A = this chain, B = another copy of it.
């Protein structure tokens, strides 16, 4: 497929995004990491810079473009802070400092901007994260739809980072709770379905990762944002060269999210979560991990599947359906939901 213009699919976080990122960045840049740190080739949730004594700084950036800026369950500030913490957490880092860069449309209400920044601040305060500085720009009326909030996170990794390529055959996949709620909330807002009661799950998942680290029951982790668990599981599979089998009956999804997905024809497994994590652990630690998560607020944590030696030429993700069938859970394609995060 030859394209000469950027499409919404290029930004949806699925198949087309991956292709474009490889074409524009991975194939083009020469220097892609510092020492044995994580960089552009790995395309993990954070990059790392080794700083000696087995420690690294983890660094991540995301530009949030979510529409609407205020949504059921949060706003763009809460989303930016949560997403940044989550990108650090899933690599095994403890967040220490953030920077931000906000671009606002001329005429945007000052009180809304204060509300957004206050949401961001509340989460930084809660996790004792410093804000070191940032940038602030204004674009003339009609040249930007409201606001883009870019958030940069810096964390400290003690020991080896939890990379996506750490998954081995036999490992178990745990989810911390019901998936797809953020995507469903944004989709409902964008479609004007105000009677659909679905709230974004947007929040830091660092507490779950800390539980798993304390138990030494974590080999890899991902927050399933753009492209949902379909994308996240395929990234594990491709980077670790394993097949992954997940069981539909085990995957927690809220009833209202399921209903909205059916109504709109969107695959629930491609819908973004912003407050859940997939945690990969060895099979002998999985039950202990799930119990610890459930005892500590993640009441719907579940073992949803496992990794296996690939049966075909290409690693794949398989979904065992409720009715007993098996379907390949592909990397999501197409436009999905625009401006989800």
| B130 adjacent to A139 (CB under 8 Å) | no
Report if A154 contacts B (CB, 8 A): yes
Residue contact A121 to B29, C-beta cutoff 8 Å = yes
A125, chain B: closest CB distance, angstroms: 6
Q: Could you say which residues of chain B place their CB within 8 Å of the CB of A17?
A: 136
Question: Across the interface, which residues of B come within 8 angstroms of A47, CB to CB?
Answer: 97, 99, 132-133
- CB of A65 within 8 A of CB of B103, answer yes
A338 close to B (CB within 8 Å): yes
For chain A, the count of residues having a C-beta within 8 Å of the partner chain is: 86
Partner of A137, one of B33, B65, B109, B136: B65
Bound state CA distance, A17 and B104, in angstroms? Answer: 13
- A residues 224-273 with Cβ under 8 Å of B? none
Q: Are B106 and A6 in contact (CB under 8 A)?
A: yes
Contacts of A144 in B (CB 8 A): 143-145, 148
Given contacts A20-B136, A145-B144, contact A101 B61 (CB under 8 A): yes
What is the distance, in angstroms, from A104's C-beta to the closest C-beta of chain B? Answer: 5
Q: B8 near A131 (CB under 8 angstroms)? A: no
**How many whole Å from A141's CB to the nearest CB in chain B?**
9
Question: Which A120-173 residues have a C-beta within 8 angstroms of B?
Answer: 121, 124-125, 128-140, 142-145, 148, 150, 152, 154
Q: How far, in angstroms, from A21 to B4 measured CA to CA in the complex?
A: 40
A129 & B62 in contact (Cβ 8 Å cutoff): no
Stretch of A49-57, A174-182, A214-222, A292-300 contacting B (4+ beta carbons < 8 Å): A49-57
Judge whether A63 is part of the interface by a CB distance below 8 angstroms.
yes
B140 near A61: Cβ-Cβ < 8 Å? no
Contact of B133 with A43 in the complex, beta carbons under 8 Å: yes
- Whether the pair B6, A138 counts as a contact (CB closer than 8 A) is yes
Residue of B nearest to A150 (CB): B150
How far, in Å, is A239 (CB) from chain B's closest CB? 14
Q: Is the CB of B32 within 8 A of A131?
A: yes
The answer to whether B111 touches A24 (Cβ under 8 A) is no
| Chain A contact residues, CB within 8 Å of chain B | 3-8, 10-12, 17, 20-21, 24-25, 28-34, 37-40, 42-44, 46-47, 49, 51-52, 57, 59-63, 65, 67, 96-97, 99-111, 113-114, 117-118, 121, 124-125, 128-140, 142-145, 148, 150, 152, 154, 338-339
Provide a sorted-by-A list of 30 A–B residue pairs whose CB atoms are within 8 angstroms.
Answer: A5-B107, A5-B108, A5-B109, A6-B105, A6-B107, A10-B104, A10-B136, A11-B137, A12-B138, A28-B117, A28-B118, A31-B128, A31-B130, A32-B131, A40-B132, A42-B133, A47-B99, A47-B132, A49-B97, A51-B57, A61-B100, A61-B101, A61-B133, A61-B135, A65-B103, A67-B143, A99-B152, A140-B339, A143-B145, A148-B148
